[in-house]
Structure 1
Amino acid sequence: MATTSITIGAPSTFAPDLWSDHGLQTASTHGTVVTALAPQGTVRLVLADEALGTCAAVTARIDTVVTVRLDVPLGDAVGYWHPNAGSDRTLPADWSPWRHVSLVESAPAGCLYDTAGRALLAFATDRTVALTGVRFGVSEEHKRFGVWLRLPLTAGETYRIRLLPPGGTVAGTLRALRRWFAALPGGEPMPTPEFGRTPVYSTWYSFTQDVCAADVEREAALAAELGFGQLFLDDGWQRYGSGRGYSGCGDWRPDPDKFPDLRTHVETVHALGLRQVLWIAPLLLGERSDVFPWLSRFATHWSPTLECWILDPRHVEVRDHVLRTCLQLVDEFGLDGLKADFLDEAMVYAGTRGAQDSTLDGYLPDVGAALAAMLTDLRQGLRDRRGDEFVIELRQRYTGPAMTAFGNLLRANDCPADAVANRVRTLDIALLAPGGTVHSDMLMWDPQADADVVARQFHGALHAVPQISARLAELPDAHRDALAFWLSTWRALRPTLLSGHYEPGRPDQLYPQVIATGDDRCVITCFVDRIVPLCPDLRQVSLINATSAHQLFLDLDAPWTVHLSPHDAQGRAQAPLIRELTPGLNTVDVPPGGLCHLREAAELT
């Protein structure tokens, strides 16, 4: 892995010559033109057809900075998917800003697609750790869509780009790319223990930093009764953990008033049948911490938002501190895992020089390579202690395919009470992550609202492991009943929801209908009023009505006699019945926010 310190130096404004191909190396495959924008004779471009698409290899003859352009005709393009798309899911112009991807910032992959949700241009690269500059957009002059990848190469180094043929669905195309990512050297995903695939009770939205052992243990007992498998003790357990600032971070010792005996607290949670995971932000350094005097020289960036300094992981002293601190927490308190937060803050050091007074060898000039080294040591240290029975939670935006080698729980970025964002973010992660288990952001809702809000929040987390962060002891009975129903439903459908083959539709439409299939079961979640294609070859179908409509429209190509078992949003069973569904359109009554299980009627006789 190269750790060259050649800077990318991407321009901040559009340069017209980025569309030039005069005197440059150009090749094409499946309608995609690949161009190496580099001084003549500095690089060599070779395309080779392989079992999984085409490999474009760019090899440097001397140390240089190269820009590779991938471009296709616009055709019927409507959107461009990439791991950090967020809410920006339409077509940008080619003068949009450069951005960076690295180990902890998105991933080097993208997919341009048309109105039918079919891929027009899909690519991934093997530079998953070190920094790459990326730009993409529509050319007003050329009526083409381009992607530019800018990076330094040392003499003899080869950069590989995987290009897939057009025509597949976005989900199917990205699944193929994630298999390729997993096969890269060092890309093998961490295994996920069974408990990592069980519902999580989180303290964050329910308590924020105002947390203590007695309150958490009361919630843990209720969570165990509802079928949770994990408890995540979030921010606030540590010394000086109050006021939403991080001036005390660095020592990572329990607050003696909130958790006077953290080991006994963890044992209490274990006795209830829950695993316990602890939040830590190992790269944050506060001025009130005991370690600040000797670590501050490796934390030259001040974050006014977090009210603390950011440690630079390129220094071996920082990596050693993080490893020592994390392993001590696990050993001393008997933890089952760590929730590693704010790792992406390290990217403030990209392209800068590190501190000059490092006393030890081991400085790594590339931030991504430094974080990979740090996380490799942490993974091995935890494996030495727990085998594969431990979890490390990573948060979007650092849930890309390379990070699944270092973390096995991949959580959607914070989106309090935003079920739509939770749906989109969890599906975005799952589309490209070659391993690990996707977790939702924590579900929260207004405890004074109608109990149907519980269902609406849960719908956004259906295709991930749900994390819940509501004060269970204070929930109204109707809310608790609705939560119990959806947790029970999720557990029953989990094999299909987490491990089945799914198609969620177009990304720019925010994944309007998710169809997940596995074995002989199908789970279809409708987030908008849209006809549901149904195949009677499936013996069991669960229809989830995440809309405000009172019925769903089913389209069958053959007759089907089914037993219908509907429930409303709060889980209350409605009258079951047997229906003769005919070829073509059929309507089925499903309460708003509720669900209906369909089974072959003959199996019930």
Structure 2
Amino acid sequence: MNFNLSCCKDFSAEYVVRDTEDGIRVVHISADATDGARTLDLKFSWQIPDVRVNLVWTPLGYTSRNIGANWSGYSESYAMRGAPVISDLDYSDRNRQTIACSDAENSVKMHTGVVEETGMLDCVVKIAVAAPVAHYECDVRIDTRDIPFYRAVADVRRWWETYPGMKPMPVPDAAREPLYSAWYSYHQRIDVDAIVDECRYFSKLGAEVLIVDDGWQTSDNSRGYNYCGDWQPTPDKVPSMRAFADAVHSTGMKFMIWYSVPFIGSGSEVYKKFGTKTLNRCGSSETYVLDPRYPEVREHLIELYRRAVTDWDLDGLKLDFVDSFRQNNNFCEGMDCRSVHEAVDRLMKGVSAALREIKPDILIEFRQSYIGPLMCTYGNMFRSGDCPADSFTNRQHILALRMTSGGTAVHSDMVMWHPDESAEEAAYQLTAVLFSVPQISVRHSALTPRQAEMVADYLVFWKKYRNVLLDGEMSYYGCGANFPFVSSRLGDTLVGAVYSGGVAHIGSMAEETVIVNASPDRRVMIDADFSGEYCYTVYDCTGRETASGRTSPGVTGRIDGVPENGRIVLTKYRY
């Protein structure tokens, strides 16, 4: 590879290449200002032949995986958005080149684009440091090993964790348990008694955490954010937040509430204090984004959350809209840093430290797209971006998160469905999120008897195989077809899901192999090496047994009559 490095004027830059192991190069880049601290722009580039490159995977690309020309756009990350990694993969989902950067705070733009004249791939990493610096350094990691691309991406996550300040926040067991969210089921119409009743119902099914979302702080139900900022319970909905928390705790569930971190409305009391210390206005609304470069803004937010957790006995916070903090180059008296990215890092580190001092097992949830390696150090729950009743998008979001999140608990977007759907149809919302912690947001009183059976069975099933689903070695088949089969293997157990195509691409069977048929196709082909006979049992989506039998050794298994969103459990036959 022939590398090129350029930078803006007033800086000199150089790079050093080292091969850390076969197929991996780490390029150390450094830059020094020639005359005092300056903002910095760097461009690092090289070319490779566009041979067997089929797709480009990025953390926020989801189903958009086209290669593009070298004049097309970039995948951008910074502290509050995405992650600095991009992967080129071949027609068999194997890695051709995975590029990552150690700088998780500043703006990092990456792309690999086709040069139309030559058929080469332009590989570019652009770094923009918004705060003036006299010296800067980072590493760019280039992995060309012939391994599944998702394993190359997983190795990047482990690589990030080797850098100072990149150790993920501990994940308490409660972050890995099913959760009830009141958002889609109640929206801003918070009803304390009804929500506590939901807790009684869903706690018996295995849910262990409640999140009360937007609405507890305002009487207005118009879904805007003009009333954010003061963060006091509105008496007509929540007469006492502490009493609410106590009632939830009495059901055996933990209690989290929602905050929009950056937003203050012009009608709030806090706007009178911080209205001149904002980054921007949100569209045409009367909502503004606080500027965290002011230390008093950060101190205000940290104290706000600390007091809430202490006074109301909260078990966690859902901290929303962190990605609304955007870089602003204005620099005013009273600010202690120029970079918004750096200021957000200071803010979120302060929040995490203050809350963990009160409760070491505090739960902190973030939502796509703020899911990068720095965000992992501030929170321990990453949730799929909003996609109500959209099982396909929820699945794509979750699989992308699983590739970059390591041990941080990945949660589904809140699961909901229309009451008129059959149990089999509603079950798509749950089987789609199999490889994440399920968040459920339906009213139990609206469930049909079969829907209720389905939900109860799913949660029992999910909890039984939780460690396999969350901690096992993941395999993703068919990136270009949106992953029609996904599996996770831990020890002697494998759990997989067929989402389309009717084939479970397992490779080698485990002692116990579970296949979820998350499709309408009632025939499942098992593409695996059967080294012996296996007994199997088929269940429908409510957990009722519908068939059983035995496979023949050495033959690719075909099992007919597998119900929609049902499952097959295969265990090795012992003679």
Q: Is the 8 A contact 1:240 1:247 kept in 2?
A: no
Q: TM-score, normalised by structure 1?
A: 0.90
Match of 2:329 in 1: 352
- The TM-score, its normalising length taken from structure 2, stands at 0.94
1:595 and 2:564 equivalent? no
- Cα distance in 2 for partners of 1:536, 1:514 equals 14
Q: Report Cα offsets for 1:75-129 as digits up to 9, x if no partner.
A: 1212111111133122222222356320111111110111011111111111101
SS at match of 1:465: coil
3-state DSSP of counterpart to 1:401: coil
Moved more, 189-198 or 504-513: 504-513
One-letter amino acid matched to 1:37? S
Partner of 1:86: 62
| Rounded Cα–Cα distance in structure 2 between residues aligned with 1:288 and 1:366 | 28
Distance 1:48 1:131, change over 3 A: same
C-alpha deviation, 1:156, in angstroms: 3.9
Match of 1:380 among 343, 353, 365: 353
Distance 1:163 1:597, change over 3 A: same
Judge conservation of contact 1:404–1:434 (CA < 8 Å) in 2: no
TM-superposed deviation, 1:573: 1.8
Give yes or no for contact 2:398–2:411 (8 Å, CA) kept in 1: yes
- 1:45-444 superposed matches below 5 A: 45-51=15-21, 53-62=24-33, 64-98=40-74, 100-152=76-128, 154-304=133-283, 307-347=286-326, 350-354=327-331, 356-358=332-334, 363-387=336-360, 389-444=361-416
Q: What is the rounded CA distance, in whole Å, between the counterparts of 1:540 and 1:306 in structure 2?
A: 55
Asked whether the 8 Å contact 2:86–2:110 carries over to 1, the reply is: no
Whichever residue aligns with residue 206 of structure 1, its letter is S
State percent identity of aligned pairs. Answer: 27
**Deviating 4+ runs (over 6 angstroms):** none
Match of 1:25 in 2: none
Deviation at 1:51, TM superposition (A): 4.3
The correspondence of residues 459-498 of structure 1 with structure 2, limited to 5 A, is 459-498=431-470
Aligned equivalents of 2:485 and 2:426: distance in 1? 20
Shift of 1:141: 2.0
Verify the 8 A CA contact 2:469 2:488 in the aligned structure 1. Answer: yes
1:585 to 556, 559, 571: 556
* Runs of 5+ unmatched residues, structure 1: 1-27
Residue identity matched to 2:559: V
Q: Which residue of 2 aligns with 1:4?
A: none
Corresponding residue for 1:23? none
Aligned partner letter, 1:96? S
Output the amino acid matched with 1:374: L
Sort the Cα spacing of 1:434 and 1:364 in 2 relative to 1 into closer, same or farther, 3 A. Answer: farther
Deviates more, 1:152-161 or 1:259-268: 152-161
The answer (yes or no) to whether the contact 1:217–1:268 under 8 Å persists in 2 is yes
Q: How big is the shift at 1:332? A: 1.1
CA contact 1:178–1:433 (8 Å) conserved in 2: yes
Count of aligned residue pairs for this structure pair: 564
Deviations 1:348-389 (A, max 9, x none): xx14214x353xxx52211111111001111110111012x1
For residues 329 and 563 of structure 1, the distance between their equivalents in structure 2, rounded to whole angstroms, comes to: 54
Deviations 1:408-461 (A, max 9, x none): 001110011111111111111110123310001000101111111222111111
* Partners of 1:523 and 1:300 in 2: CA distance: 47
Mapped partners of 1:305, 1:513: distance in 2: 44
The aligned amino acid for 1:580 is T
Distance 1:165 1:206 in 2: 47
Is the contact made by 1:72 and 1:121 (CA closer than 8 Å) also made in structure 2?
no
C-alpha deviations, 1:154-183, integer Å up to 9, x for none? Answer: 444222111112311111111111100111
1:274–1:39 CA distance, 2 compared to 1 (3 A): closer
The AA in structure 1 aligned to 2:189 is D
* 8 A Cα contact 1:397 1:413, kept in partner: yes
Q: Tell me which residue corresponds to 2:37.
A: none
Check 1:573–1:121 CA distance in 2 against 1; reply closer, same or farther (3 A cut).
Answer: same
Preserved contact between residue 478 and residue 570 of structure 1 (Cα < 8 Å): yes
Could you tell me how far 1:70 is from its partner in structure 2?
A: 3.9
Name the Cα RMSD after superposition.
Answer: 1.9
Deviation at 1:142, TM superposition (A): 2.8
Q: Is the CA contact (8 Å cut-off) linking 2:5 and 2:15 kept in structure 1? A: yes
Q: Deviations over 1:287-340 (max 9, x none)?
A: 111111111111241112765111111221211111011111111110000000
Please state whether the residue corresponding to 1:37 is helix, strand or coil. strand
Alignment partners' CA distance in 2, 1:599 and 1:541: 6
Per the alignment, residue 417 of structure 2 pairs with 445
Distance change in 2, residues 1:570/1:70 (3 Å): farther
How much does 1:399 deviate? 0.9
> Bigger shift: 71-80 or 57-66?
57-66
Matched with 1:6 is none
1:37 and 2:6 matched: yes
- Distance in 1 (CA, whole Å) between partners of 2:529 and 2:365 is 43
- Secondary structure at the aligned position of 2:281 is classed as strand
Q: From the superposition, tell whether residues 298 and 508 of structure 1 become closer, same or farther in structure 2 (CA, over 3 Å).
A: farther
Q: Secondary structure at the match of 2:414?
A: strand
Q: Distance in 2 between matches of 1:534 and 1:417?
A: 29
Distance in 2 (CA, whole Å) between partners of 1:246 and 1:312 is 17
Instruction: Please give the alpha-carbon distance, in whole angstroms, between the structure 2 residues aligned to 1:57 and 1:575.
Output: 59
